[in-house]
Amino acid sequence: MAMWLNRDTRLSWVYQYRTASDSEWAELVEHIRAIGTNPKQGEVALTITYQAQPPSAVQRRALNDVFKSERGLPGLVAHAFVTDSIPMRGVITALNWFTDKPFREEVFSAPKKALKWLSEVSTHPIDVEGAWNDIVRAVPKEALWVE
């Protein structure tokens, strides 16, 4: 297993470690579709990729298709993308310059900084330590982000 997902009252998160399988990627697509089809007003999203491999062409296409079909994810206020990959941070930042999204998006090099930012921009404050502890409980120790 290389991907863990959770969606609670106002925070949705995805944690990817190394290479996600096609079935895990399908779960991610459904997770995103749920945010689009059943929006929770003021929801924020966190994506963490740690030692992760980029998605395959088929996985990228599926992700692109779900974003198109869900009309920009109504109700989503902000998305924080965290990665330990310097090139990936650069790519995501550059893409954000050229893409018009209906929600705010920032790229981070540390999960707790991303959670703090999400708490600041959210219409409902997030318990940063509580959210991080939820992730720590869900993700196996060997796959956890090391700061």
> What CATH number does the domain containing 65 carry?
3.30.750
Specify the range with the lowest mean pLDDT, choosing from 5-9, 23-27, 58-62, 91-95. 91-95
Coil, helix or strand for 93?
Answer: helix
Structural domain for 30, as ranges? 3-143
Amino acid, res. 54 = P
Question: Residue 91 CA to chain centroid, in angstroms?
Answer: 15
Around Cβ 19, how many Cβ atoms within 10 Å? 15
Burial label, 131 (beta-carbon count in 10 A; 0-12, 13-18, 19+)? buried
Coil, helix or strand for 14?
Answer: strand
Token digits for 29? 């697509």
Q: Provide the pLDDT for residue 139.
A: 96
Better-scored residue on pLDDT, 72 or 90: 90
Percent of the chain with pLDDT over 70: 98
Place 70 in a pLDDT band, splitting at 50, 70 and 90.
Answer: low
Supply the pTM of this predicted model.
Answer: 0.90
**Domains of the chain: total:** 1
Specify the range with the lowest mean pLDDT, choosing from 15-19, 58-62, 69-73, 139-143. 69-73
Coil, helix or strand for 29?
Answer: helix
Amino acid, res. 16 = Q
Q: Provide the pLDDT for residue 29.
A: 87
DSSP code, position 21: P
Beta strands across the sheet bearing 43-50? 3-7, 11-17, 43-50, 76-83, 104-108
Coil, helix or strand for 89?
Answer: helix
Nearest to 36 by CA among 16, 56, 65: 65
Q: Provide the pLDDT for residue 72.
A: 66
